[in-house]
Amino acid sequence: MNLSFNKNDDELRLLLSELRKRQAQVELGGGAAKIQKQRDQGKLTARERIAYLVDPKQPCLEIASFAGDGMYEEYGGCPAGGVVVVLAYIKGRQCIVVANDATVKAGAWFPITGKKNLRAQQIAIENRLPIIYLVDSAGVFLPLQDEIFPDREHFGRIFRNNAVLSSMGVPQISAIMGSCVAGGAYLPIMSDESLIVKGSGSIFLAGSYLVKAAIGEDIDNETLGGADTHCDISGVTDYKCENDAEALDTIKGLVSKQGAFPKAGFDRIASVAPKHSSEDIYGYIPHDGKPFDNMPIIECIVDADSWQPYKESYGQTIHCGYARIDGWAVGIVANNRSIIKNANGEMQIGGVIYSDSADKAARFVANCNQKRIPLIFLQDVTGFMVGSKSEHGGIIKDGAKMVNAVANSTVPKFTVITGNSFGAGNYAMNGTAYDPRLILAWPNAKLAVMGGAQAAKVLLQIEKSRLKAAGEELDPKALKELQEKIEARYEAQMSPYYAASRLWVDAVIDPAKTRHWLSYGIGMANHNPDIPRYNPGVIQT
């Protein structure tokens, strides 16, 4: 290995160290004192419940762990959005588990909590995966009720999705393991089966204090809506459990007896290890952002000798090809960061989408749809090529052709942001708005409408023009300070953690684990046999 490889490796491992520290902090939830308080009540924490429930020695992938990161500071923060969501196996079956974290504001729902729950349900709907809710929540966080209660993608959408999932035949099981009040009470009861833990679980539309205020009735919460009430009298819940462990064991038993459902039938053969070690990715990513040949990165992810390039010598700023990942057949669309010379002898900048590469990618996406092959997008894109030559050559039409192909693609799509994700390149390469089944980011990823330096120059020019129109002018020192301030703000907003906190990406992951995430995701997508016929629309002509 050369010095450059080693330097790259060192820099990436530093980013991974930061990732692990951030994750460890998130896993503390509301802090050690709150965790101990929950244990003193005889309850497991959200993460302990999940660890008990899921199959050991099987993949357990947490999504949206950085939801709410850096947000709601005026309220003391909301680590992980106050809810833990994992993709995991239960009794050998892929499931989604959604567990309220009662150590974070008693499991109250912040706006980001609702968004995270909706994302979990979206994954369940798209992939027809059973979803398990471990409920322990005080309900809507009232100071922010206007941001979570009334709109289309707010709290009520969760109950709508409960109904939709049920109509699709997707199993939903809820365990009431703590508080479950007001509107939140509908989530477990709109599930197919519900459990309640005696002594700690309670469910009612209004608690004892509100009942006293509303109708003058004196009653305690256990009598009002505890396990005995709802299992013995109202019949609202289906199973009464003595403690958390019994509730989780009951869920395991219910899941283990579920029948098999039709599959999509994506092609899979025996897995073969990649040509390069997965950790070699660390050394292939330039720490200084310089152009590089990213085929070795692809070779760290796909099964050895499975890569079949499509139009290899045409549109070379995008690699397209068929391959296998852990045995699964896939189509890969990957931005090529090399500076290349095209057939006309013209130099093309790596990471930029030109007309020929856009045309190539659109055709390849259509081919994968025709053959029912899942698509993998590896994003490291600075956008579409600009300038008179590109405009005269119809870059907008070619770019629209690619965006159209991606938007109308019906096979499962997965996106990994391996570097830059700027401008319309984010859209063409299957960004969040284009419904990837999973969208992942490496810790070196950057998401923005354009690069930080370019954005700072544009914003600075706008500010200078504004000041000039007002008869003001900044001296060189003030201009430099303003530029540094703009750059710092923009750089912070490009961080993958900024994106993850707002659920623009599902997870920030170790690049060496990309292959595992993608394999799990394709297996997950294989549960949904309903793949509509691909209809590209008129812009393909």
pLDDT of residue 134: 97
pLDDT of residue 259: 94
**Quick check: helix, strand or coil at residue 324?**
strand
pLDDT of residue 62: 98
pLDDT of residue 485: 82
pLDDT of residue 482: 79
| 422-445 pLDDT per residue, tens | 989 999 999 999 999 999 999 999
Model's pTM, two decimal places? 0.94
CA separation for the pair 413, 332 (Å, rounded): 10
| 194-234 pLDDT per residue, tens | 999 999 999 988 888 888 888 998 998 889 999 999 999 99
CA separation for the pair 352, 357 (Å, rounded): 9
CA separation for the pair 446, 382 (Å, rounded): 10
pLDDT of residue 413: 98
CA separation for the pair 280, 227 (Å, rounded): 54
pLDDT of residue 183: 67
| 235-260 pLDDT per residue, tens | 999 999 999 999 999 999 999 999 99
**Quick check: helix, strand or coil at residue 27?**
coil
| 480-532 pLDDT per residue, tens | 887 888 888 888 899 999 999 999 999 999 999 999 999 999 999 999 999 99
> Which regions of the chain are under pLDDT 50?
none
Q: Do you know the residue count of the chain?
A: 541
pLDDT of residue 392: 77
Residue holding tokens 């567990």? 99
pLDDT of residue 241: 97
